[in-house]
Protein backbone atom coordinates (compact mmCIF):
# COMPACT_ATOMS: atom_id res chain seq x y z
CA UNK A 1 0.00 0.00 0.00
CA UNK A 2 1.16 3.53 -0.63
CA UNK A 3 2.59 5.46 2.29
CA UNK A 4 2.17 8.96 0.94
CA UNK A 5 -1.03 10.59 -0.14
CA UNK A 6 -0.92 13.83 -2.06
CA UNK A 7 -3.60 16.44 -1.85
CA UNK A 8 -5.16 17.75 -4.01
CA UNK A 9 -5.26 15.11 -6.73
CA UNK A 10 -5.39 17.87 -9.34
CA UNK A 11 -4.70 21.59 -9.26
CA UNK A 12 -5.20 24.14 -12.04
CA UNK A 13 -3.93 27.72 -11.58
CA UNK A 14 -2.98 30.73 -13.64
CA UNK A 15 0.63 31.35 -14.58
CA UNK A 16 2.30 33.53 -11.99
CA UNK A 17 0.24 32.24 -9.07
CA UNK A 18 1.64 30.08 -6.30
CA UNK A 19 0.87 26.36 -6.15
CA UNK A 20 0.74 24.38 -2.92
CA UNK A 21 0.61 20.61 -2.75
CA UNK A 22 0.41 18.50 0.37
CA UNK A 23 1.60 15.04 1.27
CA UNK A 24 0.58 12.95 4.25
CA UNK A 25 2.20 9.72 5.36
CA UNK A 26 1.48 7.04 7.91
CA UNK A 27 4.62 5.87 9.69
CA UNK A 28 7.71 7.60 11.06
CA UNK A 29 10.28 8.48 8.43
CA UNK A 30 13.94 9.39 8.09
CA UNK A 31 13.42 11.65 5.10
CA UNK A 32 10.88 12.72 2.50
CA UNK A 33 11.51 13.52 -1.14
CA UNK A 34 9.55 15.38 -3.79
CA UNK A 35 9.73 14.50 -7.48
CA UNK A 36 8.24 15.94 -10.66
CA UNK A 37 7.07 13.90 -13.64
CA UNK A 38 6.21 15.32 -17.04
CA UNK A 39 3.72 13.33 -19.07
CA UNK A 40 5.22 10.12 -20.44
CA UNK A 41 8.61 10.77 -18.88
CA UNK A 42 10.60 9.60 -15.89
CA UNK A 43 10.60 11.32 -12.53
CA UNK A 44 12.97 14.14 -11.67
CA UNK A 45 14.18 14.67 -8.12
CA UNK A 46 13.32 18.10 -6.74
CA UNK A 47 14.20 18.21 -3.08
CA UNK A 48 14.89 15.99 -0.07
CA UNK A 49 14.05 17.00 3.49
CA UNK A 50 15.26 15.04 6.49
CA UNK A 51 13.13 14.30 9.53
CA UNK A 52 15.08 16.78 11.68
CA UNK A 53 14.48 19.62 9.20
CA UNK A 54 11.36 21.76 9.15
CA UNK A 55 11.79 23.75 5.97
CA UNK A 56 13.95 23.69 2.87
CA UNK A 57 14.25 25.94 -0.17
CA UNK A 58 15.47 25.39 -3.70
CA UNK A 59 14.92 28.21 -6.17
CA UNK A 60 11.16 28.74 -6.46
CA UNK A 61 10.46 25.64 -4.38
CA UNK A 62 9.79 25.59 -0.66
CA UNK A 63 9.19 22.36 1.21
CA UNK A 64 8.00 22.08 4.79
CA UNK A 65 7.85 19.01 6.99
CA UNK A 66 5.73 18.54 10.10
CA UNK A 67 6.61 15.18 11.63
CA UNK A 68 4.04 15.59 14.40
CA UNK A 69 1.28 15.74 11.78
CA UNK A 70 3.06 13.35 9.41
CA UNK A 71 2.69 15.80 6.57
CA UNK A 72 4.74 17.82 4.11
CA UNK A 73 3.92 20.60 1.69
CA UNK A 74 5.52 21.71 -1.56
CA UNK A 75 5.10 25.34 -2.57
CA UNK A 76 5.98 26.50 -6.07
CA UNK A 77 6.09 30.29 -6.25
CA UNK A 78 5.50 32.37 -9.37
CA UNK A 79 4.39 29.35 -11.38
CA UNK A 80 5.30 28.96 -15.06
CA UNK A 81 3.72 26.94 -17.84
CA UNK A 82 6.75 24.64 -17.70
CA UNK A 83 5.78 23.67 -14.13
CA UNK A 84 2.84 21.72 -15.56
CA UNK A 85 3.51 18.16 -14.41
CA UNK A 86 2.60 15.60 -11.78
CA UNK A 87 4.28 15.97 -8.40
CA UNK A 88 4.96 13.03 -6.10
CA UNK A 89 6.18 12.70 -2.56
CA UNK A 90 8.16 9.64 -1.51
CA UNK A 91 9.19 8.41 1.91
CA UNK A 92 11.49 5.67 3.10
CA UNK A 93 9.62 2.44 3.75
CA UNK A 94 9.35 1.30 7.38
CA UNK A 95 10.69 -2.19 6.69
CA UNK A 96 13.33 -1.51 4.05
CA UNK A 97 16.63 0.33 3.74
CA UNK A 98 16.21 0.83 0.01
CA UNK A 99 12.59 1.21 -0.94
CA UNK A 100 10.74 4.44 -1.38
CA UNK A 101 6.99 4.49 -0.96
CA UNK A 102 5.12 6.89 -3.19
CA UNK A 103 1.84 8.70 -3.17
CA UNK A 104 -0.47 8.87 -6.18
CA UNK A 105 0.67 12.40 -7.04
CA UNK A 106 -0.84 15.82 -7.64
CA UNK A 107 -1.44 16.74 -11.26
CA UNK A 108 -0.61 20.45 -11.64
CA UNK A 109 -1.76 22.44 -14.65
CA UNK A 110 -0.51 25.97 -15.16
CA UNK A 111 -2.73 27.97 -17.48
CA UNK A 112 -0.91 30.60 -19.56
CA UNK B 1 26.37 12.56 -17.00
CA UNK B 2 24.36 11.08 -19.84
CA UNK B 3 21.48 10.11 -17.59
CA UNK B 4 19.70 6.80 -17.15
CA UNK B 5 18.82 5.15 -20.45
CA UNK B 6 16.01 2.64 -20.95
CA UNK B 7 15.22 0.57 -24.01
CA UNK B 8 12.89 0.10 -25.67
CA UNK B 9 10.69 3.13 -24.99
CA UNK B 10 7.57 1.26 -26.00
CA UNK B 11 6.78 -2.45 -26.26
CA UNK B 12 3.55 -4.01 -27.46
CA UNK B 13 3.26 -7.74 -26.97
CA UNK B 14 0.62 -10.41 -27.02
CA UNK B 15 -0.47 -12.09 -23.83
CA UNK B 16 1.71 -15.08 -23.03
CA UNK B 17 4.84 -13.74 -24.70
CA UNK B 18 8.08 -12.97 -22.86
CA UNK B 19 9.55 -9.48 -22.87
CA UNK B 20 12.89 -8.07 -21.74
CA UNK B 21 13.74 -4.48 -20.95
CA UNK B 22 17.18 -2.96 -20.55
CA UNK B 23 18.41 -0.18 -18.28
CA UNK B 24 21.76 1.59 -18.46
CA UNK B 25 22.29 3.58 -15.26
CA UNK B 26 24.53 6.57 -14.75
CA UNK B 27 28.01 5.08 -14.97
CA UNK B 28 29.27 5.90 -11.48
CA UNK B 29 26.05 4.81 -9.75
CA UNK B 30 26.34 1.47 -8.00
CA UNK B 31 22.68 1.29 -6.95
CA UNK B 32 19.92 0.41 -9.40
CA UNK B 33 16.18 0.15 -8.91
CA UNK B 34 13.23 -1.06 -10.95
CA UNK B 35 9.80 0.43 -10.39
CA UNK B 36 6.45 -0.08 -12.10
CA UNK B 37 3.93 2.70 -12.59
CA UNK B 38 0.34 2.53 -13.77
CA UNK B 39 -1.69 5.48 -14.97
CA UNK B 40 -2.58 7.92 -12.23
CA UNK B 41 -0.49 6.17 -9.61
CA UNK B 42 2.93 6.62 -8.09
CA UNK B 43 5.77 4.20 -8.77
CA UNK B 44 5.66 0.78 -7.14
CA UNK B 45 8.97 -0.76 -6.06
CA UNK B 46 9.97 -3.98 -7.83
CA UNK B 47 13.60 -4.70 -7.02
CA UNK B 48 16.95 -3.21 -6.02
CA UNK B 49 20.58 -3.96 -6.92
CA UNK B 50 23.76 -2.84 -5.25
CA UNK B 51 26.44 -3.48 -7.85
CA UNK B 52 25.61 -6.95 -9.19
CA UNK B 53 23.85 -8.18 -6.05
CA UNK B 54 20.05 -8.18 -5.98
CA UNK B 55 19.46 -7.15 -2.38
CA UNK B 56 15.74 -6.65 -2.27
CA UNK B 57 12.73 -7.81 -4.21
CA UNK B 58 9.12 -6.79 -3.67
CA UNK B 59 7.00 -9.44 -2.00
CA UNK B 60 4.32 -8.53 -4.51
CA UNK B 61 6.54 -9.46 -7.43
CA UNK B 62 5.35 -12.52 -9.29
CA UNK B 63 7.75 -15.35 -10.11
CA UNK B 64 7.22 -14.39 -13.74
CA UNK B 65 9.41 -11.35 -13.15
CA UNK B 66 13.18 -11.64 -12.99
CA UNK B 67 15.92 -9.04 -13.05
CA UNK B 68 19.66 -9.25 -13.49
CA UNK B 69 22.62 -6.94 -13.32
CA UNK B 70 25.39 -9.27 -14.41
CA UNK B 71 28.42 -7.02 -14.22
CA UNK B 72 27.11 -4.34 -11.95
CA UNK B 73 26.50 -2.02 -14.88
CA UNK B 74 23.38 -2.38 -17.05
CA UNK B 75 20.35 -4.32 -15.87
CA UNK B 76 17.61 -6.30 -17.57
CA UNK B 77 14.07 -6.95 -16.40
CA UNK B 78 12.30 -9.95 -17.94
CA UNK B 79 8.61 -10.72 -17.71
CA UNK B 80 7.63 -14.23 -18.72
CA UNK B 81 4.17 -15.25 -19.92
CA UNK B 82 2.92 -11.69 -19.91
CA UNK B 83 -0.61 -10.91 -18.73
CA UNK B 84 -2.78 -7.90 -19.49
CA UNK B 85 -2.30 -6.74 -15.90
CA UNK B 86 1.41 -6.32 -16.62
CA UNK B 87 0.62 -3.34 -18.85
CA UNK B 88 2.37 -0.40 -17.20
CA UNK B 89 5.37 1.91 -17.39
CA UNK B 90 8.52 0.20 -16.15
CA UNK B 91 10.96 2.69 -14.67
CA UNK B 92 14.61 2.23 -13.88
CA UNK B 93 16.48 4.50 -11.49
CA UNK B 94 20.00 4.71 -10.16
CA UNK B 95 21.73 6.41 -7.28
CA UNK B 96 25.14 6.73 -5.71
CA UNK B 97 24.21 5.38 -2.31
CA UNK B 98 22.84 6.33 1.07
CA UNK B 99 19.93 3.92 0.97
CA UNK B 100 16.49 5.44 0.82
CA UNK B 101 17.99 8.83 1.62
CA UNK B 102 19.63 9.22 -1.77
CA UNK B 103 17.88 11.03 -4.61
CA UNK B 104 17.02 8.70 -7.47
CA UNK B 105 17.82 9.45 -11.11
CA UNK B 106 15.14 7.97 -13.33
CA UNK B 107 15.13 6.95 -16.95
CA UNK B 108 12.17 7.78 -19.18
CA UNK B 109 10.76 4.31 -18.79
CA UNK B 110 9.56 1.50 -21.02
CA UNK B 111 5.83 1.50 -21.64
CA UNK B 112 4.53 -2.05 -21.95
CA UNK B 113 1.18 -2.83 -23.53
CA UNK B 114 -0.03 -6.42 -23.37
CA UNK B 115 -2.85 -7.17 -25.81
For A80-111, how does the pLDDT look when each residue is reduced to its tens digit (9 = 90+)? Answer: 999 999 999 999 877 777 888 898 999 999 99
Residues of chain B with Cβ-Cβ distance to A104 below 8 Å are 40-42
The per-residue DSSP string of chain A comes to: --S-EEE-SEEEEETTS-EEEEEE-SS--SEEEEEEE-TTS-EEEEEEEETT-SEEEETTEEEEEETTTTEEEEEE-S--GGG-EEEEEEEE-TT-SS-EEE---EEEEEE-
Tell me how far CA of residue A34 lies from CA of A87, B42, B104, in angstroms: 7, 12, 11
Distance from CA of B84 to the nearest CA of A (A): 20
Q: What is the mean pLDDT of residues B28-47?
A: 93
Pairing assessment for the beta strands B105-106 and B88-95 based on DSSP bridges: antiparallel
pLDDT reading at A36 higher than 90: yes
pLDDT reading at A1 higher than 90: no
pLDDT at B72: 86
pLDDT in tens, B51-88: 999 998 988 788 999 999 998 899 999 999 999 999 99
Look at A1-5, A11-15, B97-101 and tell me which has the smallest mean pLDDT.
Answer: A1-5
Mean pLDDT of chain A: 92
Looking at the DSSP assignment, which residues form a beta bridge with residue A68? Answer: none
CA distance B97 to A75: 28
Inspect the interface and report whether the beta carbons of A96 and B56 lie closer than 8 Å. Answer: yes
Question: Which has more pLDDT, A89 or A1?
Answer: A89
Note if the bond before A35 is cis, omega within 30 degrees: no
CA distance A16 to B62: 46
Q: What is the mean pLDDT of residues B33-57?
A: 93
Closest partner residue to A98 (CB to CB) among B40, B56, B111 is B56
| Phi, psi dihedrals of residue B85, rounded to the nearest 5° | -70, -10
Nearest-by-CA chain B residue for A32: B101
Q: Which of A37, A18, A19, A14 is nearest to A89 (CA)?
A: A37
Distance from CA of A101 to the nearest CA of B (A): 7
Residues of chain A with Cβ-Cβ distance to B91 below 8 Å are 42-43
* All domains in chain A, ordered by first residue: 5-111 (2.60.40.10)
Inspect the interface and report whether the beta carbons of B101 and A48 lie closer than 8 Å. Answer: yes
Q: Is B101 helix (H, G, I), strand (E, B) or coil?
A: helix
Amino acid sequence: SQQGEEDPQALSIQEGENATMNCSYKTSINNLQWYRQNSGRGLVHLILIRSNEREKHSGRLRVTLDTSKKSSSLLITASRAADTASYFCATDAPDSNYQLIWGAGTKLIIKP
Amino acid sequence: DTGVSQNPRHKITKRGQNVTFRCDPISEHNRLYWYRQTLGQGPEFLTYFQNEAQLEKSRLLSDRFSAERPKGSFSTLEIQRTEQGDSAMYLCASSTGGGAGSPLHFGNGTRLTVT
